Each structure stands twice: as structure tokens, then as C-alpha cells.
Amino acid sequence: MSWNVSDKQLNALVAEMTVEEKVAAVSGHGLWRTAANYRLNIPELLMTDGTYGVRYSIDQIDGMQDGDGQLAAFLGVVNTDLSTGVESAFGSTRPATCFPNGSSLACSWDVGLAYDLGQALAAECQAFGVNILLGPGINIRRTPLAGRSYEYYSEDPVLSGEIAAAVINGLQQNGVGASLKHFACNNSEVQRTTMSSVVDERALREIYLAGFERAIRKGNPWTVMSSYNRLNDVQAAENHWLLTEVLRDEWGYDGVVVSDWHGIKDRPASINAGNDLDMPESGARKQDLIDAVKDGRVPMEALDRSCLRVLKLVRTARNAIRPNAEADFNKHHALSRRMAAESIVLLKNEMAILPLDAAKVGKIAVVGAAAAEPVIQGSGCATTRPTEVDIPLDEIRRLAPGATVSFHAVADFEAGSASEQSALAAIDAADVVLFFGNTEVGYDGEGSDRTHLDLHAGQDELIGRLGKRNGRIVVILFAPDAVAMPWIDSVQAVVAAFFGGQGVGKAIADVLFGRQNPCGKLTVTFPVQMEDIPGYLSYPGENGRHVYSEGLHVGYRHYDKRKLAPLFPFGFGLSYSTFEYSNIATSADRIDGSGTIRITFDITNTGSVAGKEIVQLYARPHSPRLMRPIRELKGFAMVELQPGETKRVEVTVESSDLRYYDPAYRQWLLDAGQIDFEIGASSRDIRLEKTVMVDAPALPSTILDVESQPFLVLERDFARRRFRDFLKAQLDLDDEEAAKMMEYCASSFLGIYKTVSWVAGEKISKATMAAFLDGLNKEIGRQSARQHDVMTAPFEADRTR
């Protein structure tokens, strides 16, 4: 079972292996295993999907392992058509708990709950003999259209990274490895194995990689899965910059990089880039690697390094196995209900139509097939065969035993149909209409993006129609991500359940009848219309390239900067209670490059029921050196309060989280100057703020080089003097000639080197000019630092007043 080998023994094993054996060790065996080596007594590992449930395919895992032959089986899963039901889609899959999907769970903003998810998934993996679960997936939800957005957490990297770290810790502290995926920029399913995500370095670092870095720093997953797409024109699984320079050299990651399934196109290139394990088994790719090692295209050290990493992973995983483990599926069903309940987001609640009073409501008209067949998950490799499913309609009937509950399909309202009149009569007579809406099942999932933000087949139109007929209409939504709501003004309440897993039916009923006070908040922005989505103009790319044209203004960063009103903003969610924010304080008035700062404030429940409030902390720099978003999430907390109760809440921010990446310096930098810490109930509802001073060495705003226009030098007095002296010395000029030359330079739009060469001939070499400008850069840096001290002095004076 376990595999007790020392590092020394592992090294000796690698030394003893033939090239073929090493290649086998860094390749899959069949679809879901690593290869055992019987000669050397190296055991195998078993891994399977997915991100919110364990999908254990009996055929694929317990059946024959005939390598390439299983491609069809694999594609069958990934291209799953859920419209015919999970069981018919999957055949022999073991039932396992289908927890709320990523886009649902994240709305809880609850890292404790995310840890519980990891722990429960680990227990089911242990019971099934699975060593590594292929999740969590944390690609940024750059567009709500993205086919896999239901698995991912947020448009924000801090939130994505925190939730992911908690899931990873829950898994790994219970003996099951995580696979943090998909690294990186797999933000759309359109041509997902060939499309190049073209992303500028700031956006990459500050948005797309930042969540991975955080999850790795706080969770240290046993494996990281490289993504299918190309990143800036290089296949992710073969991207040395991504997998070695950033992941290993900068972040210090020492686990295993595993490919996405059949994601590697050039196996020798992938191992040289740092992609250790190639999944699943491919005879052709193994042979390619053997050939490349033998003819020297892949150095033996690269193969040995990956081989050792895989063996270490096998050791870690084997020694974490809990023999005879059993999963408590009843307990997990209860957990899935609790998670769903904490993740539901109440988006609208006019005239306090919700919660419904079960004792008073007489007639309830329930509309929409999803009330009887809730859409609990998306479709793709993560799709889980649930152990049981709570049906919303049944739960509603259970909680309102005295009410008359009628149920109608959307088709019942078809104009001229036999059922139309009686269905409309039921709507007219109802005390409340509960409309269960959903996006098209099976169409929005892995392998294809949505092409619009509408609900399925006529639902949008019908909601508008019924809303006008009976003002008391509540819409409950099953959707992977944002949807448009052209009917929003005709309804009184909207409850977003996303894909809430097998317990969502009970959770919805509990919210509707006030047994659960809703507390979830959105982790993405809901746009009014598709055209408002950041990057809309360049989505989904063409000719194999998808330019992320919004740069780092992803999600709320875009809506804020463009002053665009969203349908619902990032961080938004209502409660049956109300909360008041007051008394903000910070642990210091200044923060420097290495410190942390604590922001504290009071939250009071001013409503009449107990509730939870998710509070968000945003940072807003006053005068950033480079383009920055208006505000960015830096922390969050959740507080639970009885009516009338006040609690002091604390959120800690590390100053390193206030940095931005400057590609010109190839560094993360901190701007000196004032910054606001804002406490918000959402990104558009800032309740408190406090200004603090950031101390950091100031940097020159421009870096001069030979192509810089001369005015950039001339605009600074001291630089002007240095330049004049430089020209005099290099060109042997007197004062008058130098002055003329400077005048000439002042009106030139060409680079400084070209300008001078044009007038004076090639007397000054490019290298000499570059060296001079370098000296100036340093001096400008020192000047700016002094200036920063002067600039902050009035603030100091302010504080002493």
C-alpha cells in the first residue's frame, strides 16, 4: 500500500532506470493512472476528475487499460451531453456527491466551506482509492460566455486564489492530492487546444497568474495542470517561461506539472519546458520522447528531474492512503445542501416579497421544468453522478404544506395551446409565482462557449409576460455564470442558484421560505448585455489568436473604469437583514514594502433576523505611476450577526498585495503615495474608507533609452544641464553651439540618438548615448525618491494636527 522510500533511494532508482523506464514513469498508463514499474517495485497512482465531485468511471478505471484505445471513451466524457441525463451520459459511473459547482460555491466567499468541500472530496476519493483529484480549476472568469465558467470561481484573482487554496488544503490534509488547473489562460472553449491567448504581461501577472500564485503559496498543490491553449503563441504545456521561469524559478513550486489530457503536442519540447507528466498514455508521444533523449534533443537531466518529481509524488500519495476508508454520503449530502444554501445570491427583493410566509401563502404557481429537474451542474469532465438529488418542487411542497402548489411547464403557456388558458388562470390566481429559469442544458459546458446570455427556449419572453400579469413573481435561476435579464423590471425578486449541486433544491426552498437567510454575493459582474463584456470586441479571437484586448481591466475593473452600469456588480448580494458599517480604523497610518496592515471596522445587524454579511476590502491608489484599475479587491471577511448585534471585523492586507507589475522593470513594484482602503458591501457600494500612506522608494516615471524623444530629457532642469555638458564634451561644442543643438533637439519627434546623429553626424555611438541615458535614469530615480519625501511631508504635518 504505502511506499516508504528515502530521497536517496529515489535518486538511486532514477539512476537505475533505463530511458524507456524513465519515459514510462513520466507518462500515463491508460487514461487515469501513472505507470507502475514491477522490476523496480514502483507503485502506480490513480487520478480522476473533477472540480466539485468525484467522477469515477468504472469502465475506464476498473476496465482494460489499453492506452490509445481509450481516446474514444475520454472524448465521450468530455463531450458529455447532459440533456439526456447524467446516467445515460456516463454509463457506469460510481455515484458520488455532486457539490455546488465552482461558480456557485465561490459566492459563499467562505474559505472554511471551501476547506470542507476539499475534505469531503478527499473522503470520497479515499473510499474509491483515488490518489489525486483533478481540481480545483481557477481560470479567471473573463467572460460569462466561457464554457467552463461553471467550474471556476471568479473574475478576481484574490478571491479565486483564496478559495482554491482552501479546497487544496482540505484535499491534501486528508491524503488526496490536488491538481490546480488549467495553467494558464484557458478562459474560453473556442478552439481550446489551438487558440493562443494573447495577453499582455501586466494582465497576465496581475490577473491571470496571480490566483495561481496565491493558491500555490497558500496550498502547495501536489500537481499543477498545464492548459490546452497556447499562451502568447506558445503551447502552454511547452511554455518554458510559464512552467519553469515563472512557476518554478520565481514561485519556487516543486511539485509535478501534469499535462491536460492529450494537451501536449510536442513531448520533447514539453519536458524541456518543465511539463513533467504526460497524461493520458500515448504510445506515440512516449516514443518521441525516447528518440529525443537518445539523440540529445532532451538532456538526460531534464528527464531525470521530471522522473524524480513524479516518483516523489507517488511516494507522497501512496503514504497518504487511508486504508479501508469509507465516505459518509449522507453527511456529504447534508454538506452539499449547506454549501448551496450559503452560496445562493439574492439579487432582487422588492417590497420584501421574500421570504414567503408558509403559513399565509395560499396559492403558489411554480413554472419551469427546472423546478422538477433542477440543473445542478454543468457538463464536461467534472460532471458527477449524484448520490441523490433534492427536487425544489418537492421541497416547496414540504415547507408549505397548507398551500396549493400548481406546476406548469413553459410550453403550457404557448399561445393557442390547450393548456394556455388554465395555465394563465393559475398565474392570475396565484399569491406568488415561482419561475424556475435555466440556461440550455448540455450546451453551456466544456468544449463550447455560450453564444448569448439568454435563458433557454422562450423563458425570457415568458418571464416578462407573466411578470406583467402577476406582479408577485420570483425568478429562481440555474445558470453557469451571468445571464441577461431583459425582464428584470417586471419581476419582484431574483434568486441566483447557479449550478448548486445535488442539495440545491432544498437550499432554494429554505431561502424562499426564510429558513435560510441568503448571504451569497456575486463573484463576477453581471453585464446588462453581451456587448458590455470586457474584451467583447476581440472575443473569441480569430485565425488562432485571441487578444485579451481589455488588458488588466477584467471584470469589475473594466466596468468601474468605463463608468458602465452593470446589471449587478461584483460583490453584490442581498439579505433578509440589513447591515450597518461604522468606525473604520487601521493598525497604522503608513505601510511600507514589507509590512502588513490591519483594517478594522464595526458591522451591526440592523434587521430583525440573524444573518451573515460578506464584507469586501478594496484598495484604491490616489495617483498611480502606471495605469491601474480604480479599485481592486485585497481581502474579505464574513461575519455572522444576531439582530441588533455588532461585531468588530478585521481584515489584514499584506503590502506585497498592493504592488503592481511593471514590465519595464520586470518587477513587482509598490507606488509611494496615498492609498484608500475601502470597505464595501459590494464593489459599487463602498461604505467606509480610510487613507493611508504607502512608503516606497519612488521610481522614475519614464525610463530613457536611445529611442526616447529628446523632450523627455529636456523637460527636467538637471537632465537638461547634463545633456548640454554631454554634447559639449562629445562633440566639442562651445556654449552657443550647444544651445542651438538643444533647441534643435527640443522640436524633434525622433529618438534622441537619431536626432543628434542627424545634426552632428555619427560622432556619438549608440552605446555611448545609451550609457549616458542610463546614468540619467539613475539620477532621475534618486531625484524622484527625494521628491517623494517632500511630497509626503504635508501628509505628516496633517497627521500631527
Compute the distance between CA of residue 251 and CA of residue 775 in angstroms, rounded to an integer.
32
Binding-site size for ligand BGC (CB under 6 A) equals: 7
- The residue (of 181 and 521) whose beta carbon lies closer to ligand BGC is 181
User: In terms of C-beta density within 10 A (0-12 exposed, 13-18 middle, 19 or more buried), how is residue 152 classed?
Assistant: buried
Element housing 686 (H / E): strand 685-695
Sheet-wide strand order for 47-48: 47-48, 132-133, 177-183, 223-226, 256-258
- Give the contact letters, 589-608, x = binds to ligand BGC (CB under 6 A), - = no: --------------------
Indicate if the alpha-carbon torsion angle 118, 120, 121, 127 is positive or negative. positive
- The residue (of 223 and 516) whose beta carbon lies closer to ligand BGC is 223
Compute the distance between CA of residue 570 and CA of residue 632 in angstroms, rounded to an integer.
11
Q: At what angle do helices 717-731 and 766-800 cross, to 10 degrees?
A: 160
Of 49, 260, 444, 695, which is the active-site residue?
A: 260
- The residue (of 136 and 464) whose beta carbon lies closer to ligand BGC is 136
Q: Is 134 in the site for ligand BGC (CB under 6 A)?
A: yes
- The residue (of 237 and 473) whose beta carbon lies closer to ligand BGC is 237
Q: Could you tell me the end-to-end alpha-carbon distance of the chain, in angstroms, rounded to an integer?
A: 70
- The residue (of 263 and 569) whose beta carbon lies closer to ligand BGC is 263
Compute the distance between CA of residue 553 and CA of residue 232 in angstroms, rounded to an integer.
18
Longest dimension (CA), the chain: 102
**Cβ–Cβ < 8 Å for 677, 586:** yes
List phi, psi (to 5°) of 546: -120, 105
Closest by Cα among 498, 392, 364, 395 to 444: 498
Q: Is 390 in the site for ligand BGC (CB under 6 A)?
A: no
Beta carbon of residue 315, minimum distance to ligand BGC (angstroms, whole number): 23
- The residue (of 192 and 553) whose beta carbon lies closer to ligand BGC is 192
**Cβ–Cβ < 8 Å for 612, 516:** no
For 650, which DSSP code?
Answer: E
- The residue (of 49 and 444) whose beta carbon lies closer to ligand BGC is 49
Closest by Cα among 678, 700, 680 to 691: 678
Beta carbon of residue 456, minimum distance to ligand BGC (angstroms, whole number): 25
Q: Is 78 in the site for ligand BGC (CB under 6 A)?
A: yes
Contacts of 480 (CB under 8 A, 6+ apart): 101, 103, 144, 149, 150, 378, 439, 444, 445, 450, 498, 499
Beta carbon of residue 150, minimum distance to ligand BGC (angstroms, whole number): 12
Tell which phi-psi region holds residue 168, choosing left (phi > 0), alpha (psi between -120 and 50) or beta: alpha
Beta carbon of residue 171, minimum distance to ligand BGC (angstroms, whole number): 14
Closest by Cα among 230, 196, 260, 192 to 448: 192
- Give the contact letters, 350-389, x = binds to ligand BGC (CB under 6 A), - = no: -------------------------------x--------
Residue type at position 227: S
| Residue 450 cell numbers, joined | 455560450
Contacts of 166 (CB under 8 A, 6+ apart): 111, 112, 114, 115, 118, 219
Compute the distance between CA of residue 32 and CA of residue 55 in angstroms, rounded to an integer.
11
Beta carbon of residue 49, minimum distance to ligand BGC (angstroms, whole number): 5
- The residue (of 78 and 750) whose beta carbon lies closer to ligand BGC is 78
Q: At what angle do helices 420-429 and 459-469 cross, to 10 degrees?
A: 50
- Give the contact letters, 240-269, x = binds to ligand BGC (CB under 6 A), - = no: --------------------xx--------
Place of cell 472568469: 141
Q: Cα-Cα-Cα-Cα dihedral of 144, 149, 150, 155, to 10°?
A: -80
Beta carbon of residue 74, minimum distance to ligand BGC (angstroms, whole number): 7
Closest by Cα among 283, 282, 247, 277 to 260: 277
- The residue (of 261 and 636) whose beta carbon lies closer to ligand BGC is 261
Beta carbon of residue 381, minimum distance to ligand BGC (angstroms, whole number): 4
- The residue (of 383 and 604) whose beta carbon lies closer to ligand BGC is 383
**Cβ–Cβ < 8 Å for 311, 36:** no
> Which 166-185 residues touch ligand BGC, going by CB under 6 A?
181
Beta carbon of residue 53, minimum distance to ligand BGC (angstroms, whole number): 13
Give the number of residues written for the chain: 801
Tell me whether residue 66 is one of the annotated catalytic residues. Answer: no
- The residue (of 55 and 205) whose beta carbon lies closer to ligand BGC is 55
Beta carbon of residue 137, minimum distance to ligand BGC (angstroms, whole number): 6
**Cβ–Cβ < 8 Å for 188, 231:** no
ω into residue 540 within 30 of 0, thus cis? yes
- Interface residue with ligand BGC among 49, 116, 532, 662 (CB under 6 A) is 49
Beta carbon of residue 181, minimum distance to ligand BGC (angstroms, whole number): 6
Beta carbon of residue 239, minimum distance to ligand BGC (angstroms, whole number): 17
Place of cell 457600494: 685
For 278, which DSSP code?
Answer: B
Which chain residues interact with ligand BGC by CB under 6 A? 49, 78, 134, 181, 260-261, 381
Question: Active-site positions?
Answer: 260
